[in-house]
Structure 1
Amino acid sequence: MSGIDYSYFINTRSARRRPALTREITKRQYGGHKDHISLAEGVPNEITFPFESITVNLKDGQTFAIKGQELAAALQYIPSQGYPPLLKQVKEFTRRLHRPPAWDKCDTIITNGSQDGMSRVLEMILDDNDTMLVQNPYYAGTAAIVKPLNVNVIGIDQDESGIQPRKLVEALENCKKYTEEGGGKMPKVMYLNPTASNPSGTTMPTDRKIEIYRICCEYNIIILEDDAYYFLHFLDRQPDSFLSIDTEGRVIRLDSMSKVLSSGLRLGWLTGPRKLVEQIEIHISSSILHSSVLSQVIMENLFRKWGINGLVSYFEKVAAFYRVRRDFTIASMEKHLKGLCEWDVPSGGMFVWFKVLGVSDVYDMLLTRGLRKHITFIPGQNYMADPTAACNYVRASYSKASMKQIDKAMRILAELIREEHLLLRRKLDGLEENLIIRHT
């Protein structure tokens, strides 16, 4: 791990960041000597806050109250790395679940969900005209982050096991040739969503991860492992993570509680090489100071109430809930879309990714004629490395709509596709008729 030059993965803009003295003082004050007197920090006095206590009632009948010193901490500024009691719990949670080979060289920071962490990482690594690798299709939120960064995005095609190693090597060798000719730079980072991928629903098996990891070591690439659906898989065992096989220190892992506890809490964490985590901490300290403390205190109470095993058990129940909805959605598609579309059964997550047969581009069909029929699906262009190319894929979410609504939407979609086939047939007939008239 010590052999990696991490300065290569910190761009010029990020390297210019410096820790703020006030943030450093806040970090030192936490856990400092109880008799220490500080007149340094410009923090409000908790006496002026109007909150006496906050009570949280859980669906399992348990309850906890946030009050006294804990409430004061929940409503006050904290170190940018996170609420220390939660940070301790999260580190132990990560260590026990993933057993990272180089854990002593890693660090963790609390983020406002995985999107926040992803944004910090990509803004740290990427410069103008840099190249990054993504799985194709890939999460649209990542595209939103990189678009203003002015970078070249290379999509690596997937199969049922995730990105294909052969395609990855081909892309890297092409980049290498182009770079040697003076035309660009080698990719420094690859974005992967390996468990129940959004939008494809694919989960990458361990042997494929090992192969991908080996290639990234060979070409000196950081793996950005965005695993927001890590606990929403429908497999017999918990997948191994890239972090769990990271012997060199080239994985930055993003975890999120948005899909399994609450999206509104905006709570996640980032784990990776200490040098890079420290750089991200400086960025956070100069922007939002730290993630929401109240959310962190609520999460820390859940750790104490349920423990690691209790949390994992709860996540398994959430996954079981979505598995039933997945099964119903697939059955509905079999009933209404068989012969019109093709799909693989997702191994987890909240989405079905499917191809519409006989239609080369679904964009107008869905977002013009589909909306008129009061159904909404996302066209596949939104998730492709090249969003300008025609695409016949669709993403459907089964997470929130009722079973009755899902079935109705699939039935109407089938009608829409048949109408699209008819429109295309009429256009083709019209073109053929014009050709005949011109030649007679």
Structure 2
Amino acid sequence: MECTFVDYSYFINLHSSRRRPLLTRELTKLHYMAPKEAISLAEGMPNELTFPFEKLNVVMKDGSSFTLKGQQLGVALQYIPSQGYPPLVQLLREFTQQMHQPPAWDLRDVMVTTGSQDGISKTIEMCLEEGEPVVVQNPLYSGTETVLKPFKPTLIPIAQDHDGMIPESLRSALQDWEKKCLLSNGEYKMPKLMYINPTGSNPTGTTMPVERRLEVYRICCEYNLLILEDDAYCFMNFTETSLPSFLSLDTQGRVVRFDSLSKVLSSGLRIGWVTAAKPLIQNMELHIQSSYLHSSTLSQVLTYNLLNNWGFEKLLSHFESVRNYYKARRDVTLAAMDRHLKGLCEWTVPNGGMFVWIKVHGVADVYDMLMTRGIKKMITFVPGHAFMADPAEACSYIRASYSKATPKQTDKAMCLLAELIREEQELLRRKLENCT
């Protein structure tokens, strides 16, 4: 397949383009590449002999175990290159290539991040200028909106249905924006970035089918957008078919993909990685060099040992067990909703992830209902406002998570939510009567 990658100078903002490699960080790379007999007085690393740790024993639930001690423990407690612990970086390269088989793999690279949120943040800070427009799915993951907010962007919200972002809405929005740019005499710019969460989307639980992914990708090529593919729930896809990622469709090098082990291994390890064209990875690495130097070495070495001991086949088997666990939790939650919320709400069956998106009938804005009266009933849900492109607008949606509560707790929560909604509807009815 013939691939022609885009010109990345268009996407990298002025602030980010000024970054230069930090020599001491570059020498850290050499430390890990140098032969054993090499002598270096260059690194500003502390001596591992001064660390108070003797060994770390890790025992897995399947009975397997490994121990970090001696030189390997020393590495786990030491500075590493900003791109990540080299053996883990190589393992993630192999895993990403095997899972997605992206075109022109030799033109891409990966970098370890402190969870996928970190990768999203670094990419936005690398690309966005203040006031520039950004295309987002609506509703969108609230963590991304938090990263965007300081840049004062104009969000171009694209509606979703039960299959995720609607391609026709995306094309229409971009056509309208293009007309606005042409008529504005330079006041408006075309967007450079599109954020999308295609599998088990947070908060809606939707999973985008392959035909829609292809059409969205074509539109992004036509309008020269970088696609920020946030796929933290890709291994929690409840559909029967394995879906291609945007990365696997990417013949122009315009996909920046964010992966995470938070949902399937441990959220506290904070291990994520970003896959993108090499110029973008190199620029993001410079950002990390100038901020926190690198993600936790201990987390990376632990993750490497686990993945290396298990191998990809056992890792994928574990992912399948995680997927089945959450699918069962989803079904329990939907059954409780059927018992208590029928007629009061409507919802779409989530095709992945950990959330169900609920629309409340007869309540135009659920914020006070949930955040004031709901908390008094000892139940908490997230008001949909947290995920909307314009959080100030009235919103009748609720996000419910089925990841932690037990089946008994879930049933009680849905029963209390139904009670709360009826009370709210009655309160609104009385207010309307008083007004008339």
TM-score w.r.t. length of structure 1: 0.97
1:407 matched residue in structure 2: 411
Match 2:315 to one of 306, 311, 315: 311
One-letter code aligned to 1:419? E
- State how far apart, in whole Å, the 2-side matches of 1:298 and 1:34 are: 23
Q: Does 1:381 align with 2:352?
A: no
Is residue 102–residue 248 contact of structure 1 (8 Å, CA) maintained in 2? Answer: no
Displacement, 1:234?
Answer: 1.0
One-letter code aligned to 2:264? V
- State how far apart, in whole Å, the 2-side matches of 1:190 and 1:53 are: 45
Q: Does 1:418 align with 2:422?
A: yes
Per-residue CA deviation, residues 103-131 of structure 1 (Å, 9 max, x unaligned), is 11101000000000000000001001101
Per-residue CA deviation, residues 245-299 of structure 1 (Å, 9 max, x unaligned), is 1011000000000000000000010001110110000001111101111111111
- State how far apart, in whole Å, the 1-side matches of 2:60 and 2:95 are: 21
- State how far apart, in whole Å, the 2-side matches of 1:117 and 1:19 are: 19
2:37 matched residue in structure 1: 35
- State how far apart, in whole Å, the 1-side matches of 2:66 and 2:7 are: 46
Displacement, 1:2?
Answer: 4.4
Q: Does 1:90 align with 2:92?
A: yes
Q: Within 5 Å, which residues of 2 pair with 1:276-425? A: 276-425=280-429
- State how far apart, in whole Å, the 2-side matches of 1:301 and 1:314 are: 15
Is residue 238–residue 351 contact of structure 2 (8 Å, CA) maintained in 1? Answer: yes
Q: Within 5 Å, which residues of 2 pair with 1:175-254? A: 175-181=177-183, 182=185, 183-254=187-258
- State how far apart, in whole Å, the 1-side matches of 2:5 and 2:74 are: 43
1:51 matched residue in structure 2: 53
Q: Does 1:163 align with 2:168?
A: no
Displacement, 1:102?
Answer: 1.7
**The 10-residue stretch of structure 1 (181-190 or 47-56) with the greater mean CA deviation from structure 2:** 181-190
What secondary structure does 1:30 align onto?
A: helix
One-letter code aligned to 2:257? R
1:74 matched residue in structure 2: 76
Match 1:261 to one of 265, 271, 274: 265
Displacement, 1:33?
Answer: 2.2
Q: Which runs of 4+ in 1 moved over 4 A?
A: none
RMSD: 0.8
1:135 matched residue in structure 2: 137
- State how far apart, in whole Å, the 1-side matches of 2:182 and 2:415 are: 53
- State how far apart, in whole Å, the 2-side matches of 1:349 and 1:193 are: 11
- State how far apart, in whole Å, the 1-side matches of 2:82 and 2:241 are: 35
One-letter code aligned to 2:342? K
1:16 matched residue in structure 2: 18
Is residue 5–residue 251 contact of structure 2 (8 Å, CA) maintained in 1? Answer: no
- State how far apart, in whole Å, the 2-side matches of 1:335 and 1:221 are: 44
Unaligned stretches of 5+ residues in structure 2: none
- State how far apart, in whole Å, the 1-side matches of 2:12 and 2:290 are: 17
Unaligned stretches of 5+ residues in structure 1: 433-440
- State how far apart, in whole Å, the 2-side matches of 1:38 and 1:150 are: 46
What secondary structure does 1:108 align onto?
A: strand
Displacement, 1:238?
Answer: 2.6
1:118 matched residue in structure 2: 120
1:436 matched residue in structure 2: none
Aligned length: 432
- State how far apart, in whole Å, the 1-side matches of 2:296 and 2:410 are: 35
TM-score w.r.t. length of structure 2: 0.98
- State how far apart, in whole Å, the 2-side matches of 1:206 and 1:337 are: 32
Displacement, 1:323?
Answer: 0.7
What secondary structure does 2:290 align onto?
A: helix
Displacement, 1:195?
Answer: 0.5
Displacement, 1:236?
Answer: 1.6
